[in-house]
Structure 1
Amino acid sequence: MRRLSFLLTLAALGGCATPRLGERPAAPIAVKIIALNDFHGALEPPGQSVPVTGPSGETVNVPAGGAAHLASAVARLKARNPNNLVVAAGDLTSASPFVSSQFLDEPSILALNLIGLDLNAVGNHEFDRGPDELKRLQGGGCAKHTARVPCRVDPTFPGASFRYLAANVRTADGRTLFPATAIRTVGMGKRTARIGFIGLTLRTTPSLVVPTAVATLTFDDEAKTINALVPKLKAQGADAVVVLIHQGLYTKVGYNDKSCGGVSGDLLPILAQLDPAVDLVVSGHTHRAYVCDYGAIDPTRPILVTSAGRNGTLLTDIELLVDPVAHRVTAKRADNLVVQGAAYASAAGPVPLRPEYPVFPAEPRVAALVKRYVAAASPVAARIVGRMSGPATRQRTASGESVAGNLVADMQRQATGADLAFMNGEGLRADLIPAADASVTYGQLYAVMPFGNVLQVKGMTGRQIRAVLEQQFDSASNTVARPNMMMVSRDVTYRYDLRRPAGQRILDLRLDGRPIDDARTYRVGVSNFLAAGGDNFTVFTQGTDLAGGPEDIDAFETYVRAAGTLTPPATDRITRLDTPAG
Structure 2
Amino acid sequence: MSARLYSAALALCAGLLAGCGSTPAPVMDIALISFNDFHGNLEPPHLAVPVPASTGATQVPAGGAAHFASAIAALKARHPHHAVVSAGDMVGASPLVSALFLDEPTIEAFNTMGVDFHAAGNHEFDRGWRELLRLQQGGCEKHTVREPCQLSQPFTGARFPILTANTFRADGQTLLPATGLKRFTENGATITVGFIGLTLRTTPTMVTPSGVAGLRFADEADTANALIPVLRAQGADVIVAVIHEGGSATAPVTAPGCEGLSGDIVPILERLDPSVDVVVSGHTHQAYVCDYGQVNAARPFLLTSAGYYGTLLTEIRLSVDTRARRVVHKSARQVIVQGAPFTSAQGRVELHPGFPVFAPDAGVARLVERYREAAVPLAQRPVGQASGPFLRQRQPSGESVLGNLIADAQLAATRAPERGGAQISFMNPGGVRADLLPDEQGLVRYGQLFAVQPFGNSLVVRSYTGAQLQALLEQQFDSGSNTVQSPRVLSVSEGFSYRYDLSQPRGQRVQGLTLQGRPIAPQDTLRVVVSSYLAAGGDNFTVFPQGVDAVGGGQDLDVFEDYFRLHSPVAPPRADRITRVGG
What TM bracket, shorter-length normalisation?
over 0.9
> 2:396, 2:255 → 1: CA distance?
28
Distance apart, 1:25 and its partner CA: 3.1
Distance apart, 1:23 and its partner CA: 5.8
Contact 1:239–1:324 (Cα < 8 Å) also in 2: no
Aligned-partner SS, 1:109: helix
Q: What amino acid is aligned across from residue 196 of structure 2 in structure 1? A: I
Name the residue aligned to 1:573.
577
513, 520, 535: which is aligned to 1:531? Answer: 535
Distance apart, 1:192 and its partner CA: 2.9
400, 422, 427: which is aligned to 2:426? Answer: 422
Aligned positions of 1:12-411 closer than 5 A: 24-54=23-53, 56-411=54-409
Distance apart, 1:145 and its partner CA: 1.6
Question: Would you say 1:463 and 2:463 are equivalent positions?
Answer: no
Aligned-partner SS, 2:272: coil
Question: Would you say 1:445 and 2:443 are equivalent positions?
Answer: no
* Cα distance change on mapping 1:545 and 1:308 into 2, 3 Å: farther
**Root-mean-square deviation over aligned CA pairs:** 1.4
> 2:519, 2:340 → 1: CA distance?
52
Q: What amino acid is aligned across from residue 30 of structure 2 in structure 1? A: V
> 1:166, 1:473 → 2: CA distance?
30
Q: What whole-Å deviation, never above 9, does each CA across 1:2-37 have from its counterpart, x for those lacking one?
A: xxxxxxxxxxxxxxxxx9996623321111100000
Contact 1:256–1:291 (Cα < 8 Å) also in 2: no
Q: What amino acid is aligned across from residue 61 of structure 2 in structure 1? A: P
Q: What amino acid is aligned across from residue 45 of structure 1 in structure 2? A: P
Q: What amino acid is aligned across from residue 558 of structure 1 in structure 2? A: D
Q: What amino acid is aligned across from residue 266 of structure 2 in structure 1? A: L
Contact 2:52–2:252 (Cα < 8 Å) also in 1: no
Name the residue aligned to 2:552.
548
Q: What whole-Å deviation, never above 9, does each CA across 1:428-449 have from its counterpart, x for those lacking one?
A: 1111111111111111101100
> 1:441, 1:96 → 2: CA distance?
17
Contact 2:194–2:240 (Cα < 8 Å) also in 1: yes
* Cα distance change on mapping 1:107 and 1:432 into 2, 3 Å: same
Q: What amino acid is aligned across from residue 246 of structure 1 in structure 2? A: H
Q: What amino acid is aligned across from residue 118 of structure 2 in structure 1? A: N
Distance apart, 1:116 and its partner CA: 1.3
> 2:19, 2:198 → 1: CA distance?
42
Q: What amino acid is aligned across from residue 334 of structure 1 in structure 2? A: A
> 2:508, 2:295 → 1: CA distance?
36
Name the residue aligned to 2:12.
none
Contact 1:242–1:280 (Cα < 8 Å) also in 2: yes
Q: What amino acid is aligned across from residue 360 of structure 2 in structure 1? A: A
Distance apart, 1:284 and its partner CA: 0.6
Contact 1:29–1:322 (Cα < 8 Å) also in 2: yes
Given the two structures, how large is their TM-score scaled by the length of structure 1?
0.94
> 2:294, 2:468 → 1: CA distance?
45
> 2:226, 2:581 → 1: CA distance?
47
Contact 1:46–1:66 (Cα < 8 Å) also in 2: yes
> 1:451, 1:253 → 2: CA distance?
33
> 1:205, 1:255 → 2: CA distance?
28
482, 486, 490: which is aligned to 2:486? Answer: 482
> 1:444, 1:179 → 2: CA distance?
37
361-370 or 567-576: bigger deviation = 567-576
> 2:441, 2:62 → 1: CA distance?
27
Aligned-partner SS, 1:565: coil
Contact 2:311–2:337 (Cα < 8 Å) also in 1: yes
Aligned positions of 1:484-503 closer than 5 A: 484-503=488-507
Name the residue aligned to 1:9.
none
432, 435, 438: which is aligned to 2:436? Answer: 432
Contact 1:260–1:292 (Cα < 8 Å) also in 2: yes
Q: What amino acid is aligned across from residue 27 of structure 1 in structure 2? A: P
* Cα distance change on mapping 1:437 and 1:275 into 2, 3 Å: same
Aligned-partner SS, 1:473: coil
430-439 or 260-269: bigger deviation = 260-269
Q: What whole-Å deviation, never above 9, does each CA across 1:398-443 have from its counterpart, x for those lacking one?
A: 2212111111111111112111100000011111111111111111
> 2:252, 2:535 → 1: CA distance?
38
Aligned-partner SS, 1:538: coil
Q: Which runs of 5+ in 1 are unaligned?
A: 1-18
Aligned-partner SS, 2:276: coil
Contact 1:186–1:194 (Cα < 8 Å) also in 2: yes
Contact 1:200–1:245 (Cα < 8 Å) also in 2: yes
Q: What amino acid is aligned across from residue 251 of structure 1 in structure 2? A: A
Distance apart, 1:540 and its partner CA: 0.7
Name the residue aligned to 2:568.
564
> 1:572, 1:67 → 2: CA distance?
40
Q: What whole-Å deviation, never above 9, does each CA across 1:365-407 have from its counterpart, x for those lacking one?
A: 0000000000001111110001111111111112212111111
> 1:186, 1:424 → 2: CA distance?
47
Given the two structures, how large is their TM-score scaled by the length of structure 2?
0.94
Contact 2:436–2:452 (Cα < 8 Å) also in 1: yes
> 1:176, 1:442 → 2: CA distance?
39
> 1:516, 1:296 → 2: CA distance?
54
Name the residue aligned to 1:522.
526
Q: Which runs of 5+ in 2 are unaligned?
A: 1-17, 416-421
Contact 2:107–2:158 (Cα < 8 Å) also in 1: yes
Percent sequence identity over aligned pairs: 56
> 2:47, 2:267 → 1: CA distance?
31
Distance apart, 1:517 and its partner CA: 1.5
> 2:472, 2:438 → 1: CA distance?
33
> 1:500, 1:27 → 2: CA distance?
63
Aligned-partner SS, 2:485: coil
> 1:20, 1:90 → 2: CA distance?
48
Q: What whole-Å deviation, never above 9, does each CA across 1:237-290 have from its counterpart, x for those lacking one?
A: 211100000111122333344332222211111111010000110011111111
> 1:371, 1:225 → 2: CA distance?
41
Name the residue aligned to 1:13.
none
Contact 2:26–2:323 (Cα < 8 Å) also in 1: no
